[in-house]
Structure 1
Amino acid sequence: MEYREEEYLMISGIQHFKFCRRQWALIHIEQQWAENVHTVVGELMHKKAHDPDLTEKRKDVLITRALPVSSRMLGISGECDVVEFHKKDEGVKLHGHRGFYEIYPIEYKKGKPKESEEDILQLVAQSMCLEEMFSATISEGALFYGETRRRETVKITEELKHQVEDMVKEMHQYYERRYTPRVKYGKHCNACSLKEICMPKIGKMSSVKCYINQALEDI
C-alpha cells in the first residue's frame, strides 16, 4: 500500500506518539499546542540545525541541513536535522558529486539520552524515508544531545524498523478516525506542555462530579 501526499503524517509525531498517544492526538488531530521550557529549548536547538543555507563539505563528508524527506510506503514526511553523506567505495550517487556516498542521518535533541525509545524511533523513521528516496540501505545514524554535547550512535535494525511500521500504521488509523485516546496519569505527565489542556487526572476520576469535588477540596 502507498499513501497519497495529502495523507502523510509528520515524522516528528512519532516521538509524541511513543511518549503518549493522547499527546500526539491533541497536537496532530485536534491541533492543540502549548509551550513550556522543554519545548522552547528544543526549538532553539533545531533553529541552528534546520538552516538549509548551511550546507558544507569537510574533506570526504558532505553535510546538509533541514533535508526534506518522505515515504510513500509509510505515509510520513518531515525534515532531517542533519544528514551527512560520507564518500565510500560503495553507496549512492549524488547529483553534482563524483563517487559514491554512504548516508548518515543525525537528529538533534535537547537534554540527555532517554531510557525510552521515542528519539531512536524518530531517527529510524527518518532513515527509512532516506532509504526509500535514495534506494539505499542505512545501517547507522546518531542522536546529538544538547546537554551531553556528543553523539549517541544508533544501529538501524530490522526490529526497530518493524516498530516504526507498526506505530505509523496505528497513527494513521487514529488519524482517519479522528480518535483521541484517553490517558493514564503518570509521572511523565508533569513534563508535558499539554498538561493543562489534557487534564490527565480527570481520567482517574469516576465522574466529572468527582473531579469538581476534588478540585474544590484543593482550593
Structure 2
Amino acid sequence: MSNDTQTIMLSALQHYAYCPRQFALIHVEQAWSDNRFTAEGNILHERVDSGAAEQRKGTRYERSVMLKSQRYGLTGKMDLLEIEQSDPLKYLPVEYKRGKPKIEDWDRVQVCAQALCIEEMRETNVTEGAIWYWEVRRRENVQIDEALRATTMAAIEAAHAILASGKTPPPTDKAKRCRACSLVDLCEPDLFRRDHSNAYVEEIFSGIDKEFID
C-alpha cells in the first residue's frame, strides 16, 4: 500500500464482507444507526475490553490490543490476544461477537485481518484464531489458511478501492441481510432495487459513448 492510501479499520472489513454498500455508507458517507443487535454488541465489547492482562497456565491474555499494518493499510483494536509462552511464542487472535456462528466468512475475515497485523508487527506466523459467540456461548476456531487469507486480502483491496473512489455501491442482492442491518432505513434497499433510472441513464450514455467511438 502507498503512503497516501487511507487506513481501514479492522472492524470495517466485517462490514465490507457482509455488504459493500453497508461498508460505504459507514466509512464513505459517515452514516450510522444503532439497532438492538449493535447495541448488544457494544455492551459485550465494553465488558471484554475492560479486563486486565493476565497469565494462566502458560498463556498470557492481553485485552484491547491495538493493531496496525502498513503493508495492508489497516488499523484497529482486537478484543483478546492469547500468547502461548512456547518457543517460539504462539499468537492467537480472539474476536467476540454477539450473534452465532455463520457459514459465511464475514467474521472470519476480521480475525484473519487481525492475524495479518500480528504477523507484521511481531514478525511471526499466525495459523489460527478464534471467535467467541455470545448468543450461543461457544468458541469457534478459525484456521488462518491460504483460502481465508485470499478472501481477506481481496476484501482489503476492494474496501480500499471503494474508499479511493468515494462511491457507494448498490445494495446486496441478498435481501435477507438487509433485514438485520441497522442501516436499512438509511440505505432504502427496496426502493433502490425498484428504481432502475440509474441503470437506464448509464445505458443511454454508454450508447452515446459507443456511437462517438464508432
Q: What TM-score bracket applies, with the shorter chain setting the length?
A: 0.7 to 0.9
Q: Answer yes or no: is 1:38 the counterpart of 2:27.
A: no
Counterpart in the other structure of 1:174: 162
RMSD of the alignment, in Å?
1.5
TM-score, normalised on structure 1? 0.85
Which is helix-richer, 1 or 2?
Answer: 2
Question: What 5-or-longer segments of structure 1 have no aligned partner?
Answer: 92-100, 209-219
After superposition, the C-alpha distances for 1:109-151 in whole angstroms (9 at most, x for unaligned) are 0121012110011000001100110000011111000022121
Question: How much does 1:76 deviate?
Answer: 0.7
Q: Is the 8 A contact 1:67 1:80 kept in 2?
A: yes
Q: Is the 8 A contact 2:171 2:192 kept in 1?
A: yes
Mapping of residues 77-96 of structure 1, within 5 Å? 77-88=75-86, 90-91=87-88
Q: Answer yes or no: is 1:190 the counterpart of 2:179.
A: yes
Count, aligned residues: 196
- What is the alpha-carbon distance in structure 1 between the residues aligned to residue 33 and residue 190 of structure 2? 18
Greater Cα shift, 135-144 or 181-190: 181-190
After superposition, the C-alpha distances for 1:63-122 in whole angstroms (9 at most, x for unaligned) are 10010001111101101100011111x22xxxxxxxxx2101100001210121100110
Question: What 5-or-longer segments of structure 2 have no aligned partner?
Answer: 198-214
- What is the alpha-carbon distance in structure 2 between the residues aligned to residue 36 and residue 71 of structure 1? 31
Please state whether the residue corresponding to 2:126 is helix, strand or coil. coil
User: Percent identity at matched positions?
Assistant: 35
Q: Is the 8 A contact 2:20 2:172 kept in 1?
A: no
Change in Cα spacing, 1:152 to 1:78, as seen in structure 2 (3 Å) is same
TM-score, normalised on structure 2? 0.87
Q: Is the 8 A contact 1:124 1:164 kept in 2?
A: yes
Change in Cα spacing, 1:184 to 1:63, as seen in structure 2 (3 Å) is closer
Counterpart in the other structure of 1:13: 12
